[in-house]
Chains A and B, each alone.
Chain A
Amino acid sequence: MLVTGTNGKTTTTAMLARALTEQGTVASNSSGANMPEGLVAALAADPDAGFGVLEVDEAHLPAVLAATGPAMVVLLNLSRDQMDRTGEVRRTERALREALSRYPSVTVVANCDDPLVTSAAAATRHPVWVSAGAVWQADAAACPRCGDLVHDRFGQWWCRCGLARPRPDWTLERHGIRTPEGRHLPLAVGVPGPANLGNAAMATAAAVTLGAPLVPSLHRIGSISDVAGRYRVVDYRDRRARLLLAKNPAGWREILTVLSDHISPVVIAINAREADGRDPSWLWDVPFGRLAGRQVIASGERAVDLAVRLAYADVAHVVVPDPVAAITHVPRGAVDVVSNYTAFQDLTRTLRHA
């Protein structure tokens, strides 16, 4: 099983792997190492596993698809991310579509609320459609097939060329999930935010399609509370730091919802290394104004880029480039720490050794 998309890969992979544990042993790259080396390492670490559940970087999916011949591909969402490395999101969609069209019998579990995902998954014969919600629509205004305007009315989207939202088999509803048979079951997850409910819906649909029993799968998926260190609360010098990852505008949209539950100070650590994307212009697609009134610390190697962004959003802040120093800069007590990819890795490593 391969899990790909812009956001939610690591969480959904963890959920699917957990749901399948009753059916057999599972090999998985649970740390989020989603390039080919990481996949090989995960499979080599557990060669006798009954299942392999692999999170795959979306740009590498065509090659991994060809190399592994999977039973299933889980396709979560596609939006702008690391545009200096992966290029335009439409090109990613086209590459996925071409790759999947060469394996038309692979089962694709796809989020039909995302027009880009739908376009790619429709290249296969029997996709399983999940209405898992769409946090970020800004990259789907133009049709991935014909470039014309995608119309959207209450989530029912369509284009003149014929590409339209398929009827979902599974639907994430307000307080639960509706199965293909029309059963409605409550869905509770241990990780915060609406996007994680969508991830849980995707993982549930994938697990049940693979033969896992529904209710125990929901229970196992709901038991996950810490994904590769994300959402974990770390005690450091009298600060209870909740560690969150957000690395693109869609991810930030979600994290701002999670942050709105609290009034604690916020440390934001931004790097722009190769794995983050060299261009932090995407910070301007994030409505940081919602943080006004909170104590905000701009941190990371690109703290100054962030500081300019916050200044124009009228968010008072201070700059403390070292993320660990930034945590101790706030008063003792709870603090939310939001980092992008390499800043998150560095911070969790440092705090582990602290």
Chain B
Amino acid sequence: MHESTVDIGLVSPDLLGTYGDGGNAEILAARLRWRDISARVVPITLDQPMPVSLPLYVVGGGEAAAQELAVRHLARLRAATTRGAYIFAVCAGLQLLGQRFTVADGPERAGLGVLDLYTVAAARRAIGEITADPWQSGLDQPLSGFENHQGRTVLGAHARPLGRVTSGVGNGDGTEGVVQDRIIGTYLHGPALARNPRLADLLLARILGRSLPPLDLLCVTALRHARLADRSRSRYGSGRLRHIVSAQRPSPDH
């Protein structure tokens, strides 16, 4: 059966792309293409109206000063969600989709209100590696990422955490991220889907309405191992990492 091209909306890359989160859209598209499903990334910059008909939108992290502008641009995402779109939101993206948020030394602002949560400014900025055990069915591996934010996010009754923090800060109360209806949010950069391919495939399976064949990349396995198992940085990673890396490496020329 011929499937039409899957368009993945990359929301405001000019405002919400500060931490490499645009990579999440690129990863989703590649994981479809590698399974012979046509896919493309549709960047939706500030000077364009937000299309409401895409199946999936990816929203990245951004700087505090840009968030009011971002909320205005994002307004039509609400219409997209009522039409059944999925959203994957990271960091500031997660905060913007909530009821309200306060960034450090700023006033409280209204969010888009599609997630039952609110975010206040934390006393300290959370910067560093973060790991979490997922609570979401379909995810069976620890989540890994890098967090860099000053938000403390409180979930309401309609929202569930994506996981439980095992190291790092996340939402600030021991939970990490959010799942509500067709929206998944997280504080993980890295980008999140580079380090957590199961999460990428979970999103893709949902928008396609069917399960996908496994797709394991050696380099992703090596990266996950390096970040999860080797949290105290050693020079070239652990013995296991070296083994995986050398397996990828053709014989040198002398």
Q: Do A and B bind each other?
A: yes
Given contacts A284-B191, A285-B22, contact A304 B63 (CB under 8 A): no
Residue-wise, chain A 139-152 has the 8 Å CB interface mask toward B (1 for contact) of 10110100111000
Inside 8 A of A31's CB, which chain B residues have their CB? Answer: none
Given contacts A308-B194, A308-B219, A319-B248, contact A284 B66 (CB under 8 A): no
Inside 8 A of A138's CB, which chain B residues have their CB? Answer: 13-14, 17
A306: nearest chain-B partner, CB-CB: B219
Given contacts A149-B69, A279-B189, A283-B20, contact A329 B194 (CB under 8 A): no
- How many residues in B have their beta carbons less than 8 Å from beta carbons of A? 49
A165 at the binding interface (Cβ < 8 Å): no
Given contacts A138-B17, A282-B20, A319-B219, contact A312 B194 (CB under 8 A): yes
Given contacts A142-B15, A149-B46, A311-B219, contact A318 B68 (CB under 8 A): no
State how many angstroms separate the Cβ of A303 from the closest Cβ of chain B: 7
* Residues 201 to 254 of chain B near chain A (Cβ within 8 Å): 217, 219-220, 222-223, 226, 233, 235-237, 241-242, 245, 248-250, 252-254
Of A11-19, A83-91, A193-201, the one contacting chain B is A83-91
Task: Tell me, in angstroms, the Cα distance from A328 to B254 when the chains sit together.
Answer: 8
Task: Tell me, in angstroms, the Cα distance from A281 to B241 when the chains sit together.
Answer: 20
Query: Would you call B128 and A278 a contact (CB within 8 A)?
Result: yes
The B contact surface, by secondary structure, is mixed
- Which of B17, B66, B146, B191 touches A142 (beta carbons < 8 Å)? B66
Inside 8 A of B52's CB, which chain A residues have their CB? Answer: none
- Which of B46, B68, B242 touches A147 (beta carbons < 8 Å)? B68
B139 at the binding interface (Cβ < 8 Å): no
Inside 8 A of A303's CB, which chain B residues have their CB? Answer: 245
Can you list 12 A-B contacts (CB < 8 A)? A80-B18, A138-B17, A141-B15, A149-B69, A278-B128, A278-B146, A279-B19, A283-B20, A284-B21, A304-B241, A309-B194, A311-B219
Residue-wise, chain A 222-234 has the 8 Å CB interface mask toward B (1 for contact) of 0000000000000
Inside 8 A of B148's CB, which chain A residues have their CB? Answer: 83-84, 279
B9 at the binding interface (Cβ < 8 Å): no
